[in-house]
Structure 1
Amino acid sequence: MDCLKQKVKQGKRVADDELKDEAKMEEVAVEVEPKTGISFHLKLDDGKQLGCVGLRTKHALGMNLKIYAYGMYADSEKLKDLLKSKIGEAPATPTEEMYQLVIDSDVCLVIRWVIVFPGLSTSMFKKNRDDRLVESIKKLSGDKKNAELADTIMAQAPDSIKVPPGSVMEIHRIPGYILQIKVAGEVVSKVEGELLSRAYIHMYLGDDALDKDAREKFGTYLLSLF
């Protein structure tokens, strides 16, 4: 009987611990990407803050296909120092200069994707050149010969990695103009280059951004840093 009571008590403790863990998870603040319902934590474990959420779509077969929802995270303190040193006082509204400062800098950023479109793999990303990235490369360099830089992003990633809906991919911009790609928390590709790094962020924050609403939200976040 005593053994039975002890097991019941142990089971209750385990259940209580699980309830506490669930409560903690519910307390984590998130922002929801409205077109997909996918949520993103307002802060990463390393302290980077969420600047905006958005959606990547691709026009094909007469439709705008949802490819992935994304959240863009930044080192707020480093961005604050950058903005104040270059601009000083906060403008009334986000300016092109603000966006360009972020694009041209090598302040740490993380773009976290949550895949929406079914049947994707790293092999598909490698074989299909990102036309929007190519546009950004051409716009920043003025040279069509640099288009092949877009192919280097996933060049090191194994072809076998599948990224079904719900999979998490992360693109980390690291100081030194390095782009590091993670799938499910594991580094699968890493490439260095100032033009490529700037062009990649330009896709999200440039004047023809993938999601213009997300760009505006990131601008509001930048204003808050002043």
Structure 2
Amino acid sequence: MVSLRFPFLFSQPGRPRSHPPATSRPFSPTAAAFAVGALAAAGATAAFAATSVSHNTSSSQNEFLQNALNFFSWNHSSPLWGSLSLADNSHPVVESKTGASFPSILGDSLKLCGIGLRKKSILGLKNIDVYAFGVYADDNDIKKLLTEKYAELSASQLKGNKEFNKDILEHDISMTVRLQIVYSKLSIRSVRSAFEESVGSRLQKFGGSGNEELLHRFTSQFKDEYKIPRGSVILLSRERGHVLRTSIDGKEVGSIQSKLLCTSILDLYIGEEPFDKQAKEDIELNLASYLQK
């Protein structure tokens, strides 16, 4: 039996990403109408495919269903995104500009809350896409730790709520940021240098000066011997007890117990000045929605 599931909320329509592609065109009512019609047609196609396969499980019909679902999930350039699943198997979510693919679930309990892009300016003349990222969270931890405080507020009311955002950053909630490299010329030295700058500024923001040793312990995990070609995956995971565990392409490279470091890492993606503002809004809304489920 085929089932369609949408475990994620959708971005508000008509809102461009904070970092639109250089070739993007101005928004127009005609384009909006066409886009809505295309999504509706895709939805109808997926619905028809689901009905069809329930009566006949031949391989050809299953292939048709897969293609229909893939079209509906992935073929768009707006921030609108979701996931479809066949039975109990979850499909990945694809970042439309880079093609980076993110599983909808990590491990046993971490759910994808949103995806975004880390861009970097070169000499102030050109922005390059360095890596795509996805933020995952354990919804059970959020319910356990924050339901009592925020139960009376809806997800839309919590969106942009600074206190809620602060609680997400500081509470002992299992979360992972999954980085997928999309820039083919990126070196591990560049990654180390970028973290020295970005994480260093957050450590100073939350902990003041005097955290150079903690910063060095973190950045020294990214040794020159590691190679990170396009497609490489780096996981930065806050585990229970405020332990930050780092892995590169499935190999653990270090773990550090530090609430300050965990908060500083997550602030890069869901804090007041995130790398991708649209992604931060999507993630925040989905995190808030877990309290209503």
- Equivalent position amino acid for 1:38 in 2: A
Offset from partner CA, 1:85-138 (integer Å, 9 cap, x none): 332322424111111111001211111111011233434433555322222222
- Give the equivalent residue in structure 2 for 1:71: 134
Moved more, 144-153 or 46-55: 144-153
Structure 2 residue 262 is matched with structure 1 residue 197: yes
Structure 2 distance, partners of 1:194, 1:45, is 22
Offset from partner CA, 1:28-59 (integer Å, 9 cap, x none): 32222233222212112322100110111122
| Equivalent residue in structure 1 for 2:153, among 86, 90, 94 | 90
- Consecutive unaligned residues in structure 1, runs of 5 or more: 1-15
Q: Secondary structure of 1:224's partner?
A: helix
Offset from partner CA, 1:140-191 (integer Å, 9 cap, x none): 12x2333553332232344211000111111111122211111111101222
Q: Residues 154 and 189 of structure 1 are in contact (CA less than 8 Å); yes or no, is this contact kept in structure 2?
A: no
Aligned residues: 204
**TM-score, normalised via structure 1 length:** 0.80
Q: Secondary structure of 1:145's partner?
A: coil
CA-based RMSD: 2.3
| Equivalent residue in structure 1 for 2:247, among 182, 194, 210 | 182
Q: Residues 138 and 147 of structure 1 are in contact (CA less than 8 Å); yes or no, is this contact kept in structure 2?
A: no
| Equivalent residue in structure 1 for 2:210, among 145, 157, 175 | 145
Offset from partner CA, 1:171-224 (integer Å, 9 cap, x none): 111122211111111101222212111111111111111111111011110221
Structure 2 residue 105 is matched with structure 1 residue 43: yes
Change (3 A) 1:129 1:44: closer
Q: Residues 93 and 101 of structure 2 are in contact (CA less than 8 Å); yes or no, is this contact kept in structure 1?
A: yes
Kindly report structure 1 stretches of 4+ aligned residues shifted beyond 4 Å.
Answer: none
Change (3 A) 1:82 1:169: same
Structure 2 distance, partners of 1:80, 1:147, is 35
Q: Residues 51 and 73 of structure 1 are in contact (CA less than 8 Å); yes or no, is this contact kept in structure 2?
A: yes
| CA shift for structure 1 position 139 | 1.7
Structure 1 distance, partners of 2:284, 2:226, is 34
- Consecutive unaligned residues in structure 2, runs of 5 or more: 1-58, 71-85
Change (3 A) 1:157 1:131: closer
| Equivalent residue in structure 2 for 1:166, among 227, 231, 250 | 231
